[in-house]
Structures are given as C-alpha cells and as structure tokens.
Amino acid sequence: MISRRAALVAGGSTAAVVAAGGTGYLVATHDKPEPLSPPSVNADGKLLWRNWSGIQTAYPSARLAPRDEGELASMLKTATAPVRPVGAGHSFTALAPTSGSLLSLDSLSGVISWEGDEALVLAGTRLGALGPALAEKGRAMANLPDINKQSLAGALATATHGTGSKLQALHGDVTGLRLVTPDGRVIDCSADSNAEVFQAARVSLGALGVISQVRLKTIPNRRIRRRVWIEPFQDALAKAEARWAQHRNFEFYAVPFTGLAVGVSHDETDDPAQARGADQDSAFLDALKGLRNLLGFSTPLRKAAARALLASAKPETAVDEGWKLLSTERPVRFNEMEFHLPADRQLKVLEEVVATLEKERPDVFFPIEVRRIASDDAWLSPFQGGARGSVAVHTHYKDDFAFLYELIEPIFRRHGGRPHWGKLHTLKDQQLAALYPRWEDFLKVRAELDPQGRMLNPYLKGLFGLV
C-alpha cells in the first residue's frame, strides 16, 4: 500500500509507539480476535472457498481448471450453474461465490505471442507473472495496480486500475480479446470486430462468459524512480493537482488522525537501479495501530504524537524497472471501499471523508488511498466519460467495516461516485443505470450471450436487477 511508509518512520520511535500501545490494557480493548471461521468442509463434503480478506465464502459443488480454451468451452457447456470464474479472490464484493462451479484460469497463463508491440496473453496470467514475461521482450504494462496477485482476467473484469492522470485503467490497454460464452462459443472481438461485445466485455464482472486471452498494448520497459515522502495533509491537498500533472504516476495517502499524508510518485529515469530495500508497510501500520490503541481516546493527543513521530521522516527513493516498483506487497489483510469520483470533486470528498472518520470512528487507523485515472470508453468502466479521482477507505480485516456503508458510501454517492466493482458497495440496478450511460446496452449484450443466466450468482442477479 504505502510502500516504504515505515522507512519514513524513525525506527526507535516506531518501536516505542508499538511497544507502548502493544503491551497495555488499551490494546486489549481495541485489537479484535480472528473473525469467526466457517467450517473448512461443509456437511456435503465440499471444501470452503474464501476471498482474500475472508468475508466472502462459498462451498462450490465443482471446481474447474481447464487446461486450454477448448477444454474451457466444453466445461462451460456442461458445468453446473452458477458458473463463476475466480482469480486470486481479491474482490471484496460477492462476485465469485457460487454453489455451482468455481472456475479457475490458473492453467491458462503466460504470453502466447507478440503482434508488434502488442502481447497476446492468456487471461489467467497473474499480474505478478506478467511483468517479468513482458520484460523478457523489453516491454511493460503502462500502469499497474498496487497489488499484483490478481489474474489478468479478474483485474479487467473489475476495472482494476493504477494511478496517473494520463494513464488509463488496465482495460484501457486491451485492444482485443477472446470470450468463451456459456454455450461454448468463442468470440473474437475488438473495436473493429464484434465491437459491442468488445465494449461490454472489457469490464464485465465475469458475467458474459469467460475471457480466455487478451491482446494488450505495451510500452518500453523503462526504469522508474520511486519517491515516497510525508507531509502535512493540507499541503498534500494543495499540491495534488500539480503533482498529477507533473508525474507519470502519482498517488497519496491521507492518514486520518495524524494531520499527515504520504505522497508516492513514479517517473521514468535512466539512472542506475537503486534498491528499494526491505518492505516496511507492516511496521508503519503497526505504528498507526499503536497510536490508535494508546491515544484513540483523544484525537488531539493522537495527532500530536503522530506528528512528533512521523512528520520529520526522510523521503525515500528507489530506482528499478516499473513492474518491480509499481505494485507492492500487502502483508496486512483488510476490507476496502473505493469509489471513483468526478475528478473535480475528488479532493473535497476526501476532506469530508477524513473529517467524518475523525469525528465518528476513532477505531480507524488505515491510510486512505487517493488516485487519479484517465478516461476510457468501456461501457461498465467507472472511468467512462471522463477522468475520475479515486478515494479508497480501508479497515483491518479483523475490524468492523459496516461503517463504510453507513458513513462513507453516502458521501461518495452524494458526489456522483461510481463504485469499484470489486470493492464494497451497495449499489444495484437502477442506481447503477443512473451512473452508467451504457448500462442498458450492457444488459442487452449479457442477455444475448447468456440468456439462461448460467454465469449469474445471486449477487450478480441483484446487481443487474434480475431478481
């Protein structure tokens, strides 16, 4: 998340905060036990499936792992419905759970071939494996999300994105794809061929069938300089627009209850590689949790302590190939709500979210991620029709997240926010139709490709207004 954050924190101070917060009575009142676990095997002998954060569960009657596109087509024709494709399980919404068939593309992984600078990639390829595979050819993806464990198909299905005012989300680089429909047909589509299927399928929640391969635009695999720094939150707000204009990739994290923000920029460079060093994210989060546990009763005290400990930390720099720096490890699991807002409202919304959290929820300690994404024209892209600014609120996986729906989502909705498809939200049917001009067109294509609704689990039926 905020990579290198902990390197910004004086080590001794961090330890002191964690130690002070980690040994006293107050910790016991804040730190939650592991969430209740459903049985690993149910009464019918079916194995548990859970998403990354643990809040979505299912006991699929079948688990399918086709070895090639032909086998995928055969399986789709006969599989027990609902058929739900799954990648790394990073979605917080109930896109993947099914009592029918859970289908993994893990065996469809790797770069098939090149057409000039465009790579033909099997859709089950994990993003973390795609980076080195493209680098072998001296190429790279223009943008990457801050987690790289997802499958390419899963990332596209949910409009997964990185950050950069001139950079589109991942599906913006897709120039063609092959969709295997629930009745086993294979449709080749692009902006010039089966264009309606293409515009619907680039971001399609795994609801039209299963994407088997994707043609991706790439860029030269350049080294980039990563900078991470800490500054007052108000400075981050004042300088954000200029930084989005200045840097290839820029994002920042508002750190509630500290009055601080952490900036992260990436820019191309010819400088020699400079190691990033060991990851410190967990230590930084531990420090923030320690501050909450120790001083959560008083926001002024908590802010003063945070500023004393964190504000003077030195910036950090690393240089390496982009695929090695843009994504980072997330050793601490969490739940998350992220909405994509009209760019001109993003920072006002952020201020309102931070103020609301600091007034209502002293238990929150995770930083809030703030990114910018260029527009594209996929029908269900949250970035369709104009650039969007993203605001993402996280909670530790053991902590309550209901407040995201009660306190935070109404703020996002009041300002025209569109939800990230893989992150927590309550919107469905007509609420989504009001946000997406091509919503009805998408539903029409979906009905044509899957008239029996074999790809729809209860969550998707509700989302599409089919219940």
Shortest reach from residue 363's CB to other proteins, in Å: 20
Among positions 1, 9, 51, 449, the unique one binding other proteins when judged by CB under 8 A: 51
Residue 174, H or E segment: strand 174-180
Q: How far is CA 179 from CA 64, 153, 252, 348, in A?
A: 17, 11, 36, 40
Shortest reach from residue 326's CB to other proteins, in Å: 15
Q: How far is CA 39 from CA 47, 48, 398, 447, in A?
A: 9, 7, 18, 36
Determine, following the binding rule CB under 8 A, whether residue 50 of this chain makes contact with other proteins. Answer: yes
Among positions 1, 64, 260, 318, the unique one binding other proteins when judged by CB under 8 A: 64
Q: Which residues of 258-289 are buried (b: 16+ CB within 10 A; e: fewer)?
A: bbbbbbbbbeeeeeeeeebeebbbebbbbbbb
Among positions 47, 191, 245, 273, the unique one binding other proteins when judged by CB under 8 A: 47
Nearer Cβ to other proteins (102/364)? 102
Determine, following the binding rule CB under 8 A, whether residue 82 of this chain makes contact with other proteins. Answer: no
How many C-beta neighbours within 10 Å does residue 43 have?
A: 7
Determine, following the binding rule CB under 8 A, whether residue 320 of this chain makes contact with other proteins. Answer: no
Contact 435, 416 (CB under 8 A): yes
Nearer Cβ to other proteins (150/390)? 150
Determine, following the binding rule CB under 8 A, whether residue 31 of this chain makes contact with other proteins. Answer: no
- Alpha-carbon distance of 266 to 165, in angstroms, equals 12
- Alpha-carbon distance of 150 to 378, in angstroms, equals 20
Question: By rule CB under 8 A, what string of x and - marks binding of each residue 86-105 to other proteins?
Answer: xxxx------------x-x-
Contact 393, 253 (CB under 8 A): no
Among positions 128, 342, 416, 465, the unique one binding other proteins when judged by CB under 8 A: 128
Nearer Cβ to other proteins (206/259)? 206
Shortest reach from residue 243's CB to other proteins, in Å: 26
Shortest reach from residue 64's CB to other proteins, in Å: 8
Alpha helices in 147-218 (DSSP H): 152-157, 195-201
Residue 347, H or E segment: helix 346-360
Q: How far is CA 341 from CA 95, 347, 370, 389, in A?
A: 22, 9, 11, 5
For the chain, give percent helix, strand, coil, nearest 5.
35, 25, 40
Determine, following the binding rule CB under 8 A, whether residue 279 of this chain makes contact with other proteins. Answer: yes
Among positions 23, 37, 312, 426, the unique one binding other proteins when judged by CB under 8 A: 37
Binding window for other proteins (CB under 8 A); candidates: 121-129, 250-258, 287-295, 360-368: 121-129
Nearer Cβ to other proteins (76/353)? 76
- Alpha-carbon distance of 323 to 35, in angstroms, equals 34
Among positions 16, 27, 48, 120, the unique one binding other proteins when judged by CB under 8 A: 48
Binding window for other proteins (CB under 8 A); candidates: 63-71, 207-215, 258-266, 379-387: 63-71
Nearer Cβ to other proteins (30/239)? 30
Among positions 28, 275, 278, 402, the unique one binding other proteins when judged by CB under 8 A: 278
Nearer Cβ to other proteins (332/433)? 332
- What is the 8-class DSSP label of residue 150? S
Shortest reach from residue 52's CB to other proteins, in Å: 5
Shortest reach from residue 149's CB to other proteins, in Å: 6
Q: Are strands 62-64 and 101-104 parallel, antiparallel or unpaired?
A: parallel
- Give the distance, in angstroms, between the CA of residue 82 and the centroid of all CA atoms in the same chain: 24
Q: What residues numbered 369-428 form the site for other proteins, per CB under 8 A?
A: none
Q: What residues numbered 331-360 form the site for other proteins, per CB under 8 A?
A: 331-333
Q: Are strands 139-140 and 219-220 parallel, antiparallel or unpaired?
A: antiparallel
Among positions 54, 232, 416, 465, the unique one binding other proteins when judged by CB under 8 A: 54
Determine, following the binding rule CB under 8 A, whether residue 40 of this chain makes contact with other proteins. Answer: yes
Nearer Cβ to other proteins (34/44)? 34
Determine, following the binding rule CB under 8 A, whether residue 282 of this chain makes contact with other proteins. Answer: yes
Contact 87, 105 (CB under 8 A): yes
Q: Which residues of 366-402 are buried (b: 16+ CB within 10 A; e: fewer)?
A: bbbbbbbbbbbebbbbbbbbebbbbbbbbbbbebebe
Binding window for other proteins (CB under 8 A); candidates: 22-30, 34-42, 366-374, 435-443: 34-42
Contact 357, 256 (CB under 8 A): yes
Which residues of this protein are in contact with other proteins, per CB under 8 A? Answer: 34, 37, 40, 47-52, 54, 63-65, 86-89, 102, 104, 106-107, 109, 126, 128-129, 149, 278-279, 282, 329, 331-333
